[in-house]
Structures are given as C-alpha cells and as structure tokens.
Structure 1
C-alpha cells in the first residue's frame, strides 16, 4: 500500500504532503488514477471533507487533474526537457541525435552506478520482472513489446538510483524517446543482429546492478549507448543509400522508357510525299 494512515494532525495539509511526496519520489506516475474519494479517505484515515480540500489544493498546484466522471489522476508534472518548438527543430535536424546520445551516455553511466549502489530489494524485484518480460518478448519476436520494455527497463534503473532530479530528468528524456523524436526504436530492433546484442547489453546492466557492481554497471551502460549510437548511424546511412539507389533506379527506368519511345519513332515508316 503506497498510501499510509495519518496518525496525527489529520488535516488537509498532511494529506497534501503525503501525495506530493509520492509524486516527487516517482511512486505516483503521471496519468495514474487515484483511488475513489471514499477509498482514499479510508486509506489515509481522514474525513472526506478534509480529503476534498487536500485534492483541491493539489489540483490548484497542478499536481492532480480531475476528469469529469472519470476520477482524479496525477497530472503531467514531468512535461519535456524541451519546448514543442525545440522538439520540432530536433525532428527537422537529425544531427541533434548525436548530442542526445552523448548526453544519454553520461547520464546512463551515472544512473547505472547509483542504481548498483542504492537499489533496494524491491527495486531489484521490479528490475528482475522487467528483464524477464524482455526475455519473453525476445523469444516471441515481439519487436514492439521488446522496444516498450526497453524504455521501462531503463526507467526502473533510473528509479533505483534514488535521485529525484535524475529520476524526473530521465523520465522526460525517455518520453521523447518513446515518441520517436530522436530515432525509431522499432527500426533499431529490426536492424540485423541488434535484438540479440541489445538483450546481451541489457543483461549486462541487469547483472551488474543485481550484484551491486557499480563500475561494471556504469561500463555496461556506456557500452549499450555506444552500440545504440552505432546502429542509429548505420540505419540513417543505409536509409540515405536506399533513397539514393531508388532515385537512380527510377531514373534508369524513365530513361529506358524514353529510349524505347525514341526507337519506336525512328522505326516508323515515313509517308511518301506526292510529287506535283
């Protein structure tokens, strides 16, 4: 149970403090629905009027959102590290991908090291469940599921680092990744041999965190991003090659059609002009 009974000072402020802490620590994620008013009041052991005042305060602070007839949800408190205008700039200028991967290389290194040193048994259980699900998706050749679990796995490592600023920064970055702003994860998993390599790299990170080997975890995270950078580059280069090759092929087809048309015209008998 993530909500705990308030033992003393059963006020709206006490409820607000508890919910804010759960959001700050990443226990309550954006989009997650809170229990019903009756159930939540029982969980934290306050009256429903007090709870309503607390929820109203949290909503005014932009931490909760109420959907008409649909309950109360954690608001999108993360957002993105970039404005929409910058996101669109990145989409139109792919070289920014290199900077993103350079940034992720360093932040993933730190995150993995912290996670290896700080992960609790509960953290390890979450990471274990995700990695086993990733292995299952790999066996079933479910590209989409494997790509989704990839992001979830890295988020779980980030949560295990137990650094609030790092946690929310990572979540914001992973959201952009999930939206395909930097590169297409499905293409990454379809690249020849990449699924096996990526699973091996995730296993290396997983094993290092599980045995609390901070240096091995950091090294595994760096090796993983290095490989992702290599594949993204190869996919982009191959895509350019394919585009150019297709244009050449199209040009050759057009040229052949033109040549054939000219030959047919040349073979056509000329009409005799009557002499006067």
Structure 2
C-alpha cells in the first residue's frame, strides 16, 4: 500500500489521488470495503473533512459507492482503463471564472465596505448562522454551496444597500460558480477556515482583511481551474 504524508495545499485532491492509486494498484479490489474515514484520516495524516470530500469526489465519478451504516466500497464495475476519464468536469469556462472574479471585486467588495460601516447585531447573527450551516454541511457539497451563497448574500444584505443586495441575490451565476468549485475541488479545511476568518474580520470592521481573504481564495482557485483545464 502506498501512503505518504500530505501537505496542506490541495489536500482533498491529494487524498483523492492516493485512494484512487491504491484502488488502481489493487490494494482495494472491486467490491471490497475501503478503510473508514477515521482510518484514512490517520493513514494520510489529514482531517476527516478532507477525507470525506475526497470520498465524495470518488463517489461522484463512480469509483466507489457508499452504503449507509456500512461504509465505502470500491465499485464492482471499476476498471483501471477508464479511471483517468472519471475526473469531474468543470462546467465553468476560464472566461466565466474570470468574469465572476471581476463581479465579486466590483459588487461584493463594495458590499463588504458598506457592511463594515452599517452591519448591526442582527446582520452579524445572520452571517454567523450561514457559517454554522456551512460547517454542518461539510460532507454535502450542494448544501455547503447553498450555505456558502447565504454567507456572502448575508454580507450584501448587511450593506443596507437594497440595489447591491438584489444584484447579488438575483445573480444565479454566483451560486452556480460556488457549487461548481465545491463539486469539482471538494470541501476542505482551508475553505472553512477562510470563511471563519472573513467573519472575524467583518466583526472587527476590517474590510481590507475580508477582501484580502476572498481575493487570495479566488487566486488559488484560478490556478486550480487552469490546471484542471490543462489536464495537469
């Protein structure tokens, strides 16, 4: 069995690759149960959140299946020759991704500036509740993405500018963008930690910090998007 410690960067992708490689090598054969999330977490020295996201990606492409109360199993129909074609496809072009970055830097960043000045306790409570939903939905990218959108929308609402809020609320491309990122790249500790830090910076009335955290995340994501589109 091939096991190596995984560095923090691209944790979910690395866990995904290591599990997939062990299946390809026959360590875990078609129909066999793979180790539990706790065991995989210890084996790879990563969190259960990262393991769960990697398993979700493997399940999405049909490499493994999960049985309630029993665990995860290598798909009986798994075949090594097709494994490299089972990588989730990003249904978002690089141009669309860059357009969304510009949208966020133009509209969302202005909402952040205003929210720092105008947010009251009720607004902060709503943002915090959305963050709690994200933390509770770490193993379901659709629910996590919905809560992720709620988080950013609650910040827009806290701006107290109804037009900016409605623009954010009615931009369906934004929620699609978040769901695609979480579906293809999985949900990892860095994503959650980044949102926790954004919330803390907002409470500290530090708009520059909130925007810096979002911009950093977008820059990291564009690198991953380009790598995925280039097949690397």
TM-score, with length taken from structure 2:
0.53
Cα deviation per residue 1:85-140 (whole Å; 9 max; x = unaligned)?
xxxxxx896424313212312332221221122112211221121111211222xx
Partner of 2:209: 219
Partner of 1:198: 191
Query: Could you tell me whether the CA contact under 8 Å between 1:101 and 1:229 is conserved in 2?
Result: no
Superposed CA RMSD: 2.6
Which one scores higher on RCO, CA 8 angstroms, separation ≥ 6? 2
Structure of greater Rg: 1
Across the two proteins, how many residue pairs are aligned to each other? 142
Cα deviation per residue 1:15-70 (whole Å; 9 max; x = unaligned)?
xxxxxxxxxxxxxxxxxxxxxxxxxxxxxxxxxxxxxxxxxxxxxxxxxxxxxxxx
Matches of 1:189 and 1:195 in 2, distance apart?
A: 11
Structure 2: gaps (5+ residues): 1-90
Partner of 1:65: none
Partner of 2:99: 99
Query: 1:158: how far off?
Result: 0.3
Q: Does 2:170 match 1:177? A: no
Local SS of the residue matching 1:241: coil
Query: 1:236: how far off?
Result: 4.1
Q: How does 1:98-247 map to 2 (within 5 A)?
A: 98-138=98-138, 141-173=139-171, 175-178=172-175, 180=176, 183=177, 185-188=179-182, 190-191=184-185, 195-211=188-204, 213=205, 216-241=206-231
Cα distance, 1:223–1:124 mapped onto 2, change above 3 Å: closer
Query: Could you tell me whether the CA contact under 8 Å between 1:111 and 1:161 is conserved in 2?
Result: yes
Local SS of the residue matching 1:95: helix
Matches of 1:171 and 1:135 in 2, distance apart?
A: 22
Matches of 1:203 and 1:172 in 2, distance apart?
A: 25
